[in-house]
Copies of this chain bind each other. A is one copy, B any other.
Amino acid sequence: MKYYAGIDLGGTFIKCGIVDEEGHILSKEKIPTGRERPYGEIARDMAQLAAGLAGRAGVPAGGLTAAGIGSPGIVDSARGIIVYNNNIGWKKVPLAAEVRKHLGVPVYATNDANAAALGESFAGTAKKFHSCVFVTLGTGVGGGIVADGALLEGNRSAGAEIGHMVIRAGGEKCTCGRKGCFEAYASATALIRQTKRAMEKDRASALWKIASTLDDVDGKTAFDGARMGDRTAEKVVKNYVAYLAEGLTNLANIFRPDAIVLGGGVCAEGEALLAPLRRKLNRMLYGGTKYAPVELLAASLGNDAGLVGAAHFAQQRAEEA
């Protein structure tokens, strides 16, 4: 059995796990990122954390085959360089090489959404499928595409920016500069904006009982209101689901994957979100659902998807090397 370290770099925490070649986590831990520090210190912490966890998992010294890092931002996976990370404020940081210096095994890096996609595909909800599109609904809409077990990263790993697919030309402004991006309608941020707008228009809505001020609105508010039977909340949810379904159907028609996997906080709604989405997707899917159906699933690894995927990414790259 071979063992890999999977590292999930976030703006607040660094999560690390020792993962075997079948995707089982043997040990894991998280430490604060301390993102204001020089990257060299952060890289050293990553290596120490991985080495310590390997020992704790009973992996003998020198028993780690490789390590993988999932990082936010644009990551040049062929070179292990964090090209641009808005979150931590990095530009062209040779993170993989830096961690390798301390850890002494090959280190690889990929984008965090790609890592999560690979994790769900290899060891999570999409394990039995050949191909999947992973869509994470958070501050933005991130994505990862897995075909025949491998990531489709695009030229210099700059692809899979599925949040920046316009679904309503001329619509909501997006942070990327375009108007009408999927992200501007389907992210948790977008849902919160939509909920606030609806509340401002309807002072009598039960939504005001769930969130007493607009600042208290989160991605759950509208779903909670809809469960209480509030008409305004129902409309917000219906509208959100409709746009989300448009984007997911686009991805289904473009990739025709075996499955679409939804991750991110909004997914905690479970079937309240998935059931109506599935109906819409199946109704809109090009050519219908008989010939090549597309499953719609919730992610199952939660916060571990990133580190499991990062470890598997390292496994794939180490095997190719």
Interface residues of A in 241-264 (CB under 8 A from B): 242-243, 246, 249-250, 253-258
How many monomers of this chain does the complex have?
A: 2
| Interface residues of chain A: helix, strand, loop or mixed (majority) | loop
Cβ contact within 8 Å between B287 and A158: yes
Q: Report if A161 contacts B (CB, 8 A).
A: yes
Q: Report if A214 contacts B (CB, 8 A).
A: no
Cβ contact within 8 Å between B256 and A291: no
Residue with the highest number of chain B CB atoms closer than 10 Å, among A131, A161, A171, A294: A161
Cβ contact within 8 Å between B253 and A161: yes
Total count of chain A residues near the partner, CB < 8 A: 45
Q: Report if A69 contacts B (CB, 8 A).
A: no
Q: Report if A286 contacts B (CB, 8 A).
A: yes
Partner of A292, one of B131, B154, B242: B154
Least Cβ–Cβ distance between A292 and chain B, in angstroms? 4
Q: Report if A178 contacts B (CB, 8 A).
A: yes
Q: Report if A159 contacts B (CB, 8 A).
A: yes
Contacts A154-B131, A155-B257, A287-B74; A249 near B166 (Cβ below 8 A): yes
Chain B positions within 8 Å of A297 at CB level: none
The residue on B at minimum CB distance from A147 is: B152
A48 vs B162: C-alpha distance when bound (angstroms): 46
A5 vs B27: C-alpha distance when bound (angstroms): 56
Contacts A74-B291, A178-B249; A255 near B169 (Cβ below 8 A): no
Q: Which 5 A-B pairs have the closest CB atoms?
A: A154-B256, A159-B256, A158-B292, A156-B292, A161-B253
